[in-house]
Amino acid sequence: MPTNGSTEARKLRSRLNHPIIDADGHWLEYGPVMREEFRRIGGDAAVEALATATDRVPSSLRMSLPERRRRRVGMEAFWSSPSENVLDRATAMLPRLMYERLDDLGIDFCVVYPTAGLGFHRMQDTRLRRAICRAYNVFTADQFRGLEDRVIPAAIIPMYTPEEAIEELEFASRQLGYRVMMVGGLMRRRVPAVAEEQPDAARFAEWYDVIGIDSDYDYDPVWEKCRALRVAPSFHNGARSILLRNSPSNFCYNHIGHFASAGHAVAKALFFGGVTRRFPDLNFAFLEGGVGWACMLYADLIGHWDKRNRQSIESTNPNKLDLAALLGYTQKYGRDAMVDAVRRGEGLEGDSNSKLTGGLEDLDDYFRCKVARKEDLRDLFVPRFYFGCEADDPVNAWAFNRRANPMGARLNALFSSDIGHFDVPDMTEVVPEAYELVEHELITADDFRDFMFTNAVRFWGEVNPDFFKGTAVEKAAAEALARPVGAPAVR
């Protein structure tokens, strides 16, 4: 087989006493083959959906810069797949070659996500969305069949309605044997008021449904189905070329932070929606955005709860304002005009002093989480959320820094190689690059084991104890699951 010889990755792996699991590699679907297979699997609807989906991004590159500015179309990626390194290009295109090269990459087991298919489940046309997701899942299962002991793909699950999500989850799991499900988030929906009052403009006014809170739909049946199927859902959402990442001239401006932004929105929505309270045995992963945003979100959730829990906000209740005392301070320190205004009570019912509460059902923003004490926030967030981290991100160390994270928490960082994409110029360098955190003494060897192996085992294995059965890492995964969280591995 093609090989780069005895790579540094292979040498590093041979020194470790634990396997390496890649929680987020990518393959490059070959368009001509995919198109013909879609026709066979899903007929005209699947082919039409594929043409619609794959034309959207290139169309922005066919525009001139002035035209993108005129239309406010974001600059998309160009030259985004390996080219000079033809071996890596072929590896991303050919699942069997990827399988054969895993030892060369220092990887024992790899979960592979789409490239072209990353956005298929967000198509707005229901007929096309359902057709393309079904065709893609059948196509991809066939492409990776026979490689399951070391490489498995993720199914794509449309989430515009709970019903379609449940139907595809059932099909992908029971009929096709998928163990990994990439569920949709950030669904684009029309704004009802605009659709009613200005129907011609409705398609230009959208909001993004983050599925955990304030949705028009109840997604609890989806999480129930995931639990029944023993599926740990993963999100691979992006927020590129929308809202504050919509530069018509600079792809990197649009790309930097967009996975983190999308993950932040959905994780926060699930948390405030009380999903981790109602489903304490279900894990959720947010891929490719790193873990820095998650550390900030975790700290922010605690900080805001300190100031905005139901008891704390009573200190800002306008009904508790002593108007006589306020007038006394104003008479002593204020100017005449202000004294007169305060005496008349002007300005005390507006802005931040308003007594309005917006018709909320409960004044505690955390009420769905049923938080009784600060430790509940840690217990609802830390064990349930996992975060895909690329090898070259030094911020990965933050996840393991108990001194920096509130209440001594360690967040669940998942090694996510991103092989197959432009930011991995050499697949054999990914594992050694991740190990630099140990070499630079930013994390310990035990942290590295959790980053590269144990956290992935727990993410999937806690929800489905048979997830790694029949794989190359079955024995080591079973041992890791049998150890209490945080217990050292036997050396």
List all residues 6 or more positions away from 328 whose beta carbon is below 8 Å from its beta carbon.
none
Domain boundaries, the chain: 8-307+374-482, 313-353
Reading the chain (491 residues) residue by residue, the pLDDT tens digits are 444 445 899 999 999 999 999 999 999 999 999 999 999 999 999 999 998 887 655 578 999 999 999 999 999 988 988 999 999 999 999 999 999 999 999 999 999 999 999 989 988 899 999 999 999 999 999 999 999 999 999 999 999 999 999 999 999 999 999 999 999 989 999 999 999 999 998 888 889 999 999 999 999 999 999 999 999 999 999 998 888 999 999 999 999 999 999 999 999 999 999 999 999 999 999 999 999 999 999 999 999 999 999 999 999 898 888 999 999 999 999 999 999 999 988 776 655 567 888 888 899 999 999 999 999 999 999 999 999 999 999 999 999 999 999 999 999 999 999 999 999 999 999 999 999 999 999 999 999 999 999 999 999 999 999 999 999 999 999 999 998 876 666 55
Q: Residue 141 CB: number of other CB atoms within 10 A?
A: 17
- The H-or-E segment that residue 447 falls in is helix 445-449
Look up the pTM and report it.
0.94
372 vs 333: CA distance, rounded Å: 41
* 3-state SS, residue 464: coil
Please, is 100 exposed, middle or buried when counting C-beta atoms within 10 Å of its C-beta (0-12, 13-18, 19+)? middle
298 vs 185: CA distance, rounded Å: 20
* 3-state SS, residue 235: strand
Contact 133, 120 (CB under 8 A): yes
Question: Beta strand pairing status for 187-190 and 206-209?
Answer: antiparallel
Classified by CATH at the fold level, domain 8-307+374-482 comes out as: TIM Barrel (3.20.20)
